[in-house]
Amino acid sequence: MSRLTLDSLKSLAESLRRERLEGGAQQHRAGIMLCGGTGCIAGGGVRIRDAFNAELKNKGLANEINVVLTGCNGFCAQGPVLTIQPDDTFYEKVTVGDVPAIVEEHFINNNPVERLMYKDPVSKQPIPFARDIPFFNHQILRALRNKGLIDPEKIEDYIAMDGYQAAAKALFEMTPDEIIAEVKRSGLRGRGGAGFPTGLKWEEAARVKAGLKYILCNGDEGDPGAFMDRSVMEGDPHVVLEGMIIGARAIGSHKGYIYVRAEYPLAVNHLQVALDQANEYGLLGTDILGTGFNLDIEIYQGAGAFVCGESTALMTSIEGKRGMPRTRPPQSVEQGLFGKPSVLNNVETFANVPLIILNGADWFRSLGTEKSTGTKVFALSGAVNNIGLIEVPMGTPLRHIILDIGGGIPKRRKFKAVQLGGPSGGCIPEQLLDTPVTFEDIVKTGAIMGSGGMVVMDDLNCMVSVAKFFLEFTADESCGKCTPCRIGTTVLYDLLKEITEGRGKEGDIELIGDLSKDIIASSLCGLGQSAPNPVLTTIQYFRDEFDAHIRQKWCPTGVCKELCTFYITPETCTGCGACSRVCPKKAISGEKKKPHRIAQELCIQCRSCYLACRFNSIKIGPRSMRDELAAQGIPEETAGATAAGKE
């Protein structure tokens, strides 16, 4: 690879583009774009790729059909997935065993494999083409534009997709001020959760007169349930580098770090390969494209602390010290990493930058709302049919995302809440499902947009437990520096634990609210300032659940085992025995076609019977019912009888 100039970059892009259209250098007639994201790799993606290579070779098709291990495709719960180009066929849940069938049926017999296609969740009909699958066609891809289309370990694939053209334009045709003006006008706001206007941040850093400045990329992605940045770093690492080059040019920096959490080894790997290849091509390092502009980027790995996603803690971590946030002033744009002016942006933020430069601020603003422009990538998970990554314009209503793109709630359960923003965010109930996803609208609900984690919850989720889960997380991840977060989160967690274990007291809710206010008001960094959010929003919207836990010692969803009693309503029980068959403790007894009964002393409150019953005959009552039911004794007709029958 020889170092590129502006002209050679353009002509290389041109020829690579042509090649792609013609099926690559070998002029393949088709391409198997196999998803190589972490999820699909865990599902056997590499073995599947090897199996394809072997099978195609066997069948003499290796010259005609190309196999590419791309980055994360986004439809993670259906993995391993693949798309076949150019016809856009989509196969899901592929196994090594399916490979011969795909090669034989799809490629040789021209007969797509129906059983591997995506099925509509309601009609159950197969949908062969990706463009017809709602999960895909409702999305508008900008940050994820190269998803499923390129090999992340090949810089040529990126260049063929107009890669580094934006960086070239920024370096050759624009001044730093012009770059900043364009990014400001685009309205791009930080995608990591804070939503700070990116152009403004760059403008403040550019204003500082200093020799050494740092451009930093936050790839820590600590929110549980968030994997958007992972997909970008794994699947399209060059877009991050290109965004950083433009940012570095804007602020006047020649040294950059990408802080990647160590739990993303594939991302670290692909980023390093990308860095090496970009350096070889002269797209990074000294004298980029012959402009005289230098930018050296290094990867720095995290060490397992959520708090190191906070900007000052991140910088302290790169300095080799214990990752604890620092007081401000001074702001990081004046004194950040190693005391030098620094700009830290999120992965997704950087991924949006090249398009803004290439297509302009107006184009960027054409999607989204006045205050929240562009698109946002969400990681949809939880009780929803289509689990994975989706990119939609800002302003899209939550309902559309969850019910249309997400495909609704599986197993005929009911939507209960959607959690946005991870441990810093909140739960949004059904009555607010029409809220458009923007910074300004979500915040009105009490939650925050966050980095994009969106966890859907159904009527089987206990909101008190959810609140407890997030507090357990933040209490564990608290760095320990400041009093309110270090001690306060633990106290809040202890309070919730008491409530879920049946020792909640009247006044606890008010206490939680009061303490939360003080923790928010006095914490040093965003972790503490937002840690009470989940519990505050769940109390706000699901107060009755909390009251039930405290006053009646009752968990209506049956999650808090100390607070529930599972019992069968004899009036509606048909005696089908479905419940007793699944009970792991053989606690349910009853004659065939006669009402069954759960023996409380054996029941471990696992909910298996509750999920198995088709007749709505298993109810979840408060703790007190256990003793009442036990005292009632066992009715004669069911004494000693089992489902096998005994007269």
Partner 1 sequence: MIELTIDNQKVAVEPGTSILEAALRHGIYIPNLCYDSRLKPYGGCRLCLVEVQGQRKLIASCATPVKAEMVVLTNTPKIAKVRKTLLELLLLHHPLDCPVCDKAGECKLQDLVFLYGASESRFSAVRRQETGLIDSPLIARTMSRCILCGKCVKLCHDYQGARAVNFIGRGFKTKVSPAFEETLDCEFCGQCVDACPVGALGSAAYRSRSRTWYEEEHATICPYCGCGCTTHLFIREGRITRARGKLGTGINNGDLCAKGRFGFDFIYGETRLTTPLIKKDGKHTPASWEEALTYIAKNLDTITQEHGPSAVGALGSPRCTMEDNYMLQRFMRQVIGSDNIDSIARFGHATAHMAIQQILGVGFHPIIWDAPQKADLILVLESDITSMLPVWGLNFIKAKNLGATLIVADALDTKLAKNSSQWLQIRPGSGEYLIKGMMKILIDEREPLRRQAAELPNFDAFVDSIEKFTPSFVSSLTGLPEQEITDLARVYADSGRRLLAITLGPSENKKGLNTLRSAANLVLLMGDDPATLQIPAELCNTLGMWAMGIRPLADGKDAYDMLYKGRLEALYIMGENPFVTFKNSELVELNLRGLEMLVVQDINYTDTARLADVILPACSWGEKAGTFMNATGDVQEMQRILPQTGGSLPDWQIFRDLARVMNNELCGIELEKIREDVGRLVTEFRQSAANPPAFYPVRDRPREAPDEDYPLILVTSDLLQHSGTLSVESRNLGSASSDAYLRVNPADAEKYNVSDDDFVRLSSRRGEVYVKARISSEVMEGMVFSPVHFPHVRIHSITHVAMYGEAPLDAVRVDPLD
Question: Cβ of 370: how many Cβ atoms within 10 Å?
Answer: 10
524 lines the binding site for partner 1 (CB under 8 A): yes
Give the tokens for residue 368.
């989204």
Residue closer to partner 1 by CB (options 293, 469) is: 469
Residues in 458-477 at the binding interface with partner 1, rule: CB under 8 A: 475-477
> For partner 1, which residue of 189, 326, 468, 626 counts as binding (CB under 8 A)?
326
Query: Least distance in Å: CB of 209 to partner 1?
Result: 18
- How far the first Cα of the chain sits from its last, in Å, is 84
482 lies in the site for partner 1, by CB under 8 A: yes
Largest CA distance in the chain: 93
When asked if residue 272 is in the footprint of partner 1 (CB under 8 A), the reply is no
Is the link from the previous residue into 329 a cis peptide, with omega within 30 of 0? yes
Least separation in angstroms between residue 348's CB and partner 1 is 27
Size of the site for partner 1 (CB under 8 A): 31
220 binds partner 1 (CB under 8 A): no
In the numeric block, the tokens 């934006």 are attached to 166
User: Which amino acid, residue 236?
Assistant: D
CA dist., res. 518 & res. 461, Å (int):
28
CB of 329 to partner 1, least distance (A): 6
* 273-279 own/partner pairs: CB under 8 Å, 24+ apart: 273/152, 273/153, 273/237, 274/152, 274/153, 274/155, 274/237, 274/238, 274/241, 275/241, 275/299, 277/1, 277/154, 277/155, 278/155, 278/238, 278/241
Q: Cα separation of 464 and 466, whole Å?
A: 5
Residue (15 or 522) nearer to partner 1, CB: 522
Length of the chain: 647
Residues 631, 642: Cα–Cα separation, whole Å: 21
Report the DSSP pairing between strands 618-621 and 565-568: antiparallel
Site for partner 1 in 76-95 (CB under 8 A): none
For residues 103 and 113, the answer to whether their CB atoms sit within 8 Å is: no
**Does 177 contact partner 1 by CB under 8 A?**
no
Give CA–CA dist 100/109, Å, rounded.
12
Is residue 268 a contact residue for partner 1 (CB under 8 A)? Answer: no
Whole-number minimum distance, CB 302 to partner 1, in Å?
A: 13
Q: Does 331 bind partner 1 (CB under 8 A)?
A: no
Measured in whole angstroms, how far is the alpha carbon of residue 20 from the centre of its chain?
A: 31
624 binds partner 1 (CB under 8 A): no
- Taking CB under 8 A as the criterion, the residue among 146, 279, 396, 523 binding partner 1 is 523
Site membership for partner 1, residue 483 (CB under 8 A): yes
Of positions 192, 247, 453, 488, contacts partner 1 by CB under 8 A: 488
What is the C-alpha to C-alpha distance for residues 556 and 564, in angstroms, rounded to an integer? 7
Q: Is residue 491 a contact point for partner 1 (CB under 8 A)?
A: yes
Question: H helices of 293-346, where?
Answer: 311-318
Site string for partner 1, 292-321 (x = CB under 8 A): -------------x----------------
For partner 1, the binding residue among 38, 186, 461, 489 (CB under 8 A) is 489
Q: Which of 478, 538, 557, 589 binds partner 1 (CB under 8 A)?
A: 478
Given the complex with partner 1, which of 531 and 620 has the nearer CB atom? 531
Nearer to partner 1, 232 or 313 (CB): 313
Taking CB under 8 A as the rule, does residue 262 contact partner 1? no
The least distance separating partner 1 from the CB of residue 511, rounded to whole angstroms, comes to 6
Token pair 């920024």: residue: 170
494 binds partner 1 (CB under 8 A): yes
Q: List the one residue from 480, 584, 585, 602 that touches partner 1 (CB under 8 A).
A: 480
Pairing of strands 588-589, 597-598: antiparallel
Q: Which residues bind partner 1 (CB under 8 A)?
A: 305, 322, 326-329, 475-484, 486-491, 494-495, 511, 515, 518, 521-524
